[in-house]
Amino acid sequence: MAMLDIEVMRSVAEVLKAMYKRGLVQVKGGNVSVYSGGLVYISPSGVPRHKLEWSDVAVMDLEGRIFRGRPSSEWRMHVAIYRKLGSKGVSAVVHAHPKTVLALDAIGVEPEVNLLAEAKIRLGCVARVPFITPGTWDLAEAVAQALNASGCRAVIMERHGAVTVSSGLWDAVDAMESLEDLAWIALSLASSRR
């Protein structure tokens, strides 16, 4: 195994804390990862997001071998995305449970990225995956395939949450925030038209 990158581990913990403060994840919900040096640095399962420390971050490889910690129950999704999109420059994955995105999806309204210049730039487009049981290889493969086939940097998972990808962790978070802001505006517009 390669030497562990403590700075990457720090960034994983810092990003998830920021997402909790922003209301994008619950106390033990959501997960983020970085693929670097052949290793996946991923947020742990069961650790409260506001108390996360770098030493809590789990480390594994793309074969699912765990070298350190207890990875998120969604580790399969992160691994599947890196396997499918790593060659396209994706090295950061953010999975959140943004309330407005889920509300918009529940009423059947697709977020239109052209509503906001920032959303178009950060997301490109938004793909969607129907409900599949969380934590499964079926969901992992469906999300990776949706991102790959669409070229989008975001995917909404019905009744579950959203995933954004990028070449950098903060950029992936920026994309998630952009998706949530876009959903808030789209939901407001949809409500005003009823």
Residues that are catalytic: 74
**Token representation of residue 148:** 């790959």
Distance from C-alpha of 1 to C-alpha of 103, rounded to nearest angstrom: 43
Q: Are 28 and 47 in contact (CB under 8 A)?
A: yes
Distance CA 109, CA 175 (A): 19
Instruction: Note the helical H segments in the chain.
Output: 6-22, 75-85, 99-106, 117-123, 137-150, 169-192
Q: Which two tokens stand for residue 14?
A: 């810092």
